[in-house]
Amino acid sequence: MSSLANQRVLVLDFGSQLAQLIARRVREQHVYCEIVRHDITADRLRELAPKGIILSGGPSSVYADGAPKCDPELFELGIPVLGICYGMQLACQALGGEVKSVNSREYGRAHVDVLDHSDLFADVHPKTEVWMSHGDQVTAIDETFVPLASTGTCPYAAVRHKTRPVYGLQFHPEVTHTVEGKTLLANFVRNVCDCDGTWRLGDFADETIERIREQVGDNRVICGLSGGVDSSVVAALLSRAIGSQLSCILVDNGLLRKDEARLVVQEFSGHFKSDLHVVEAEDRFLDKLAGIVDPQEKRRRIGHEFIACFKEEADKITGAKYLAQGTLYPDVIESGASADGPADTIKLHHNVGGLPEELGFDLIEPLRDLFKDEVRQLGLQLGLPEEIVWRHPFPGPGLAVRCLGEVTRDKLAMLREADAIVVGEIKAEGLYRSTSQSFAVLLPVQSVGVMGDSRTYDNAICVRSVNTDDFMTADWSHLPHELLSRIATRIINEVKGVNRVVYDISSKPPATIEWE
């Protein structure tokens, strides 16, 4: 558990896809917030002494067999509790209320009538628009709760316990569709939890730099550099902390964007005074990918070869004891269920490729307490240029998963040029910062075309651009038609072997952002 703040709010995660969004919204109020397992014990909560607890939503029904529950003693601690959707139903059920499946289910926008404007609903309009997503709802509150808001079909859209600091919202205040959701969460952490809102990223940077210095001592640290914002911010923090004791490794696998390796070296040399090792490995990766069309097998082979390249180069660096990785907070969830206390579970998609323990290094993960948007803010505070901080995400397997079917040198050359045109035109239009991810995909199909007076039978490029807050859901970018026309014209005119350009208007879900 982090020691970053004296005041914190904890989110108990009941399987909601929005738990991370709740934590981010609380942090926007300058109150430190972390996600923990739903079954964290009351004893552990006493140790952590949070100023508030939020029970997230979830896909289960509270009355179903095996439905996730919280420790019932949680409600005896005197710590303010806010239940959201499933969390509200759980709190009401635990304290005497009744929850049932109802015929009048609510999904999407709804208008609630506010019945009580004290504390939680302070400064909220009497009738406000919210986002509902539920088939179950609280149907009776057993005289222990007071209704705070209602809709025409949901009499208990919000409630407050009469004697305990326990609140419930049937709707989701964390999503942007709930117009005054930020106000509601601010009211909870400020008015109900009495948080002072003094947590700042600058404090995080100072504390992290000092902690790295103490941990590393006179030893050397290796950092995998990809050119993305996460690895760049890690390198910036380490450079501030230990200077010349940092060695960075860039594996040029031949699957990077146009001029990416050169730009990474240029930017690194201009901003960090550290040791940089560049591994030229294009031939090795293309040999491993020859004849492979299955996307999962592509990923497996790329990951395996990356580890081999990284290890070979790392073995050449003397005195290295630590490996720095760009693990972010969404990859980390504290477990409150073990008898020995919290145990973190880390996913294996770190920005240096999920390097295995047998490399023999101790890990340093300086960003593990931050979300992506906070990492960008930190990068700016550390003096990184905006072109690094706001660079669109790039998949670990690189262009291999944007080159559908077999990956070849010629296909990669086509894709690089098309991708550079897409990104260049979006930047020229001033839309790079307002789109979340934009790129080209080379499709494994050919189609008939006419160029000049000749018939062609060439490749198709798909343009993909999405907008998203969290990359868990995404909508396609509604780019101007004139911009799409320029992109298509340039690709067809300038990229030999392409005679057709299409635009992907699929949202996530049901589609994914990447094609493979």
Q: Are residues 152 and 205 in the same domain?
A: no
CATH number at residue 162: 3.40.50.880
Residues 123, 17 share a domain: yes
- Tell me whether strands 98-114 and 145-150 are parallel, antiparallel or unpaired: antiparallel
**Candidates 85, 309, 403, 462; catalytic one:** 85
> What's the pTM?
0.73
Judge if 449 and 362 occupy the same domain.
Answer: no
The answer to whether 303 is a known ligand-binding residue is no
Question: If you search the block for the tokens 């926007």, which residue do you land on?
Answer: 28
Question: For 89-118, how does the pLDDT look when each residue is reduced to its tens digit (9 = 90+)?
Answer: 999 999 988 888 776 666 778 899 999 998
Residue 227 assigned as binding residue: yes
Q: Is 230 annotated as a binding residue?
A: yes
- pLDDT tens digits in sequence order for the chain, 516 residues long: 455 567 899 999 998 878 888 998 999 999 999 899 999 999 999 999 999 999 999 888 989 888 999 999 999 999 999 999 999 999 999 998 888 877 666 677 889 999 999 899 999 999 999 988 767 888 888 889 999 999 888 899 999 999 999 999 999 999 888 999 999 999 999 999 999 999 888 888 888 999 999 999 999 999 988 878 888 899 999 999 999 899 999 999 999 999 988 888 887 777 776 789 999 999 999 999 999 999 999 999 998 999 899 999 999 998 899 999 888 876 664 333 333 332 333 223 333 345 566 677 888 999 988 888 889 999 999 888 888 889 998 888 999 999 999 999 999 999 999 999 999 999 999 999 999 999 999 999 999 998 877 888 999 999 999 998 767 678 999 999 999 999 999 999 999 999 999 999 999 888 889 999
Domain check: are 270 and 306 in the same one? yes
Last residue in a domain, options 192, 214, 233? 192
Last residue of one domain, picked from the residues 329, 354, 389: 389
From 38, 134, 172, 350, the catalytic residue: 172
DSSP code string of 408-468: -HHHHHHHHHHHHHHHHHHHHTT-TTTSSEEEEEEEEEEEEEEETTEEEEEEEEEEEEEE-
Beta pairing, strands 362-364 & 320-324: parallel
Catalytic, 282? Answer no
Residue 232 counted as an annotated binding residue = yes
Catalytic residue among 174, 180, 334, 425: 174
Q: 329 and 240 share a domain?
A: yes
Same domain, 151 and 235: no
Whether residues 248 and 320 share a domain: the answer is yes
The answer to whether 264 is annotated as binding is no
For this structure, is 172 an active site residue?
A: yes
Catalytic-residue membership of 277: no
Q: Which of 472, 390, 485 is nearest to 438 (CA)?
A: 390
Judge if 236 and 186 occupy the same domain. no
The response to whether 58 counts as a known ligand-binding position is no
* Final residue in a domain of this structure, among 192, 214, 234: 192
Contact 28, 2 (CB under 8 A): no
Query: Which tens digit of pLDDT belongs to each residue from 382-436?
Result: 888 888 889 998 888 999 999 999 999 999 999 999 999 999 999 999 999 999 9
Q: Quick check: 71 and 44 in contact, CB under 8 A?
A: no
Provide the 8-state DSSP code for 190. Answer: I
Q: Is residue 511 part of a domain?
A: no
Give the residue numbers spanning the domain of 79.
8-192
